Structure 1
Amino acid sequence: MNGPSITELTTRARDIFQRVVEEYLENGQPVGSKTLATDGGINLSPASIRSVLAELEGLGFLAAPHTSAGRMPTDAGLRIFVDGMMRVAEPSREEQAQIEARLSESGPVEQALQQASALLSELSGAAGMVMVPTREQRLSQFSLVSLGQGRALAVLVGEDGGVENRVLELGPSEMGSLEAASNYINSRLAGRTLAEAAQAMRAEINAGKTQLDTASRDLVERGLAVWSKDANQRPVLIVRGASNLIDETAMDDIERVRSLLDDLEDKQSVSALLESAREAEATRIFIGSENRLFGLSGSSVIASPYRDREGRVVGVLGVIGPTRLNYARVVPMVDLTARSLSKSLGGPSGKLIA
């Protein structure tokens, strides 16, 4: 933002600005000079406070939504507060235990992602979002089991321990090729992603190095393709708690809420926003008009990347809500959830970023 920083203001102006922001984030209502004068802590008359409020408004830190309605922080003012004045409230021991317990439950990766999104929603009172990992599954073990009547069960075990099953329809010539196809995949393609496995198999075929007959080769290709196709059709984003965005204050600005809910339906665009936080070394905060997607709905996003067992960033999780989110509480909550999800996926626990 162009203009003075909060450190260039007088101590009096900084104190009043901080009180306005904290009061607004707690109650969601503009703060007037009488409220500041009567709450204590500021030894100034209402007239003097109004003068300081007018100064802060002139600098673009505060705005008055209506005449005589008091002041509320602008998006620029919130950014100044979050970056330089916010006192972070670490999650309580009970909250930490709840997050770690919920995300350490055994089950497939998808279950952990669902839990993380639901947890963020419950603990923040806003909507929780988790971007599904873009990494491809790596094969650990593969088997084809006959189900009779021209069908087989394709069982894939990933290196992360996840197990997935798919049913394949078999042609008459493929019924006797199940064992050969399974053995080939396990001996030649284990440890590769699906795309790498398919490429390696085609290379061996072209070089005449594979002993597979035509029926077995076709079966291997179909067995690999069923997961590649499924991965492309998976949702890119899991959102939980969108109903939390419709509270009492939202009823005063229903168009904004409707705009936000419409934005959340565009999951590809939301994922693109979260994607920008993949390389961040700290939890990122997008406030209101700072991001194009949620600028009209006046919403903020707090996002943090999570990692796999090899320490690679595989996705991003976060919270979306009104700009009056309790940043001091939600920022470390998002960070802790990201670290706990990383741990449950076998990744590094990292360190808390304030």
Structure 2
Amino acid sequence: MNPPISDLTDRAREIFRLVVEGYLQDGQPVGSKALAGEGSVNLSPASIRSVLADLESVGLLAAPHTSAGRMPTETGLRLFVDGMMQVAEPTKEERATIKQRLNDPGPIEHALEATSTLLSDITGAAGMVMVPQREVRLRQISLVSLAPNRALAVLVGEDGHVENRVVDLTNAADASTLEQASNYLTARITGKTLPEAIAEIAREIASGKSALDKASSDLVQRGLAVWSEDTTQRPVLIVRGQANLLDDSALEDLERVRSLLDDLENKQSVASLLEDAKTADSTRIFIGAENRLFALSGSSVVASPYRDREGKVVGVLGVIGPTRLNYARVVPMVDFTARSLGKLIG
């Protein structure tokens, strides 16, 4: 079991802090000569090496084989973040820039994309925003023939949002069947959310109260299945700034970066990770193997929930990058951006 910060001596705590801060600043292991040369540690290099060895023995520091210096382990980073880190709040100018970037006119989707890009720009990592699962009230569904056994379902929301889905049919459907199914669906979905409409129509068909013939009933249920499946499988994550992950240090560990970029391609899995931050009261930090998804790439995620004007959590945003993220700067930036975005969500 690793010691809490309070169990370290003042000398060990100070040296540990300097090693972590030095590593987070330039990504390189920190050696005893560098620590002695800074003048902040009034010890000889030999005494410093002894303290470094003690910190390594309890799992807080590690010595890469290519260097005599030390760098924090993931356990050490967690200890530092939870017990020693002094966050640097965004400056007045930075807060103004964030608000300005997010307040450009346009649909909320544009604000979400701007948020992801903004997070990437201000942190030098990749920015991520989980899109709110909007419960759109529906206005109309139309079914249009594409081929004898295929139809196009056109769903229109009360806000004017339109989505199209292709429906494969068991049997060929003529124009009359498509029109009957369209009228039936529209009459029952108007003013309802998709889950509400699906539940009502399913109950009506199951109870035998539906006036649909067999062909139209099959068409309705297939159309609903397509929409229901799409609701659960729809991409829910906007990622920007992946190129930031390909910095100079990435050349030393291309396999790790390749693994990270592959993970980011699986947006549904990343969104599942971010779901864990939805219930948090504030910004959460996942370091390396603390989350299984990024265990191989050794990456860190800083994520914060954002709320609508009523205080309801509607999504999560954050950044992902190497474990040597500048947490003291990134954490308050992510937190402030989450609060700023929340003010735009109706």
TM-score if structure 1 supplies the norm length? 0.80
Counterpart CA distance in 1 for 2:67 and 2:286 is 29
Distance 2:93 2:211 in 1: 59
Name 2:326's counterpart in structure 1. Answer: 326
1:152–1:236 Cα change, 3 Å: closer
2:176 aligned with 1:173: yes
Distance in 1 between residues matched to 2:337 and 2:19, nearest whole Å = 30
1:65 is the counterpart of 2:68: no
> What is the deviation of 1:311?
3.3
Deviation at 1:175, TM superposition (A): 9.2
Contact 1:136 1:194 in 2 (8 A): no
For 2:39, what is the secondary structure of its paired residue?
Answer: coil
Find the counterpart in structure 1 of residue 101 from structure 2: 102
185 and 98 in structure 1: CA distance in 2 versus 1, 3 angstrom threshold: farther
RMSD over aligned CA atoms reads 3.5
Distance 1:85 1:199 in 2: 52
Q: Are 1:196 and 2:196 an aligned pair?
A: yes
TM alignment of 1:102-181, pairs within 5 A: 102-133=101-132, 135-139=133-137, 141-142=139-140, 156-158=156-158, 161=159, 163-164=161-162, 166=164, 172-173=175-176
Matches within 5 A, 1:300-339: 300-339=300-339
Give a deviation string over 1:284-336, Cα, whole Å, max 9, x none: 11111222222221111111122345433232221110010000011111112
CA shift for structure 1 position 213: 11
2-side partners of 1:213 and 1:310: how far apart? 45
Residue 85 of structure 1 corresponds to which residue in structure 2?
84
- Alpha carbons of structure 1 residues 105 and 230: separation in structure 2 relative to 1, 3 Å: farther
Query: Is the Cα–Cα contact under 8 Å of residues 301 and 320 in structure 2 kept in the other structure?
Result: yes
CA separation in 1, counterparts of 2:56 and 2:318?
Answer: 31
- Answer yes or no: is 1:235 the counterpart of 2:238: no
| Greater Cα offset, 106-115 or 223-232 | 223-232
Q: Does the 8 Å CA contact 1:173/1:215 hold for their aligned counterparts? A: no
Separation in structure 2 between the aligned mates of residue 168 and residue 323 of structure 1, nearest angstrom: 43
Deviations 1:79-110 (A, max 9, x none): 11100110101122222223223333343333
Taking the aligned partners of 2:55 and 2:271, their CA distance within structure 1 comes to: 35
1:138 CA drift (Å): 2.9
Q: Which amino acid aligns with 1:12?
A: R
Residue 272 of structure 1, CA deviation? 2.2
Tell me, what secondary structure is at the counterpart of 1:34?
helix
* Aligned counterparts of 2:231 and 2:95: Cα–Cα separation in 1: 32
Q: Does the 8 A contact of 2:178 with 2:216 survive in 1?
A: no
In the alignment, the residues of structure 1 paired with residue 152 and residue 300 of structure 2 have an alpha-carbon distance, to the nearest angstrom, of: 48
Distance 1:57 1:214 in 2: 72
Which deviates more, 211-220 or 63-72?
211-220
Distance in 1 (alpha carbons) for counterparts of 2:244 and 2:99? 23
1:145: Cα distance to partner? 12
The percentage of counterpart residues that share the same residue type is 61
Alpha-carbon distance change, 139 to 24 in structure 1, aligned in 2, over 3 angstroms: same
| Structure 2 gap segments, 5+ residues each | 145-150, 168-172
Separation of aligned partners in 2, 1:263 and 1:178: 41
Counterpart residue identity of residue 255, structure 2: E
In structure 2, what is the Cα distance between the partners aligned to 1:263 and 1:145?
A: 37
Q: 1:212 to 1:104 in 2, by over 3 A?
A: farther
Partner in structure 1 of residue 52 of structure 2 = 53
The answer as to whether partners of 1:121 and 1:128 remain within 8 angstroms in 2 is yes
Report the alpha carbon displacement of residue 181 of structure 1 after superposing the two structures with TM: 6.6
- Paired residues for 1:196-345 under 5 Å: 196-203=196-203, 228=228, 230-345=230-345
Q: What is the alpha-carbon distance in structure 2 between the residues aligned to residue 307 and residue 162 of structure 1?
A: 24
Distance 2:70 2:165 in 1: 62
Report the alpha carbon displacement of residue 173 of structure 1 after superposing the two structures with TM.
3.2
Q: For residues 94-135 of structure 1, what are the alpha-carbon distances to aligned partners after superposition, in whole Å with 9 as ceiling and x for unaligned?
A: 2222322333334333323222221111111111122233x3
Q: Residues 142 and 185 of structure 1 are in contact (CA less than 8 Å); yes or no, is this contact kept in structure 2?
A: no
Q: Structure 1: how far apart are the matches of 2:2 and 2:165? A: 63
User: Tell me, which stretches of 5 or more residues in structure 1 are unaligned?
Assistant: 347-354
Query: How much does 1:9 deviate?
Result: 1.3
TM-aligned CA distance change 1:266 to 1:184, over 3 Å:
closer
Cα deviations across residues 40-89 of structure 1 (Å, max 9, x unaligned)? 22222222211211111112111111265211111111111100110101
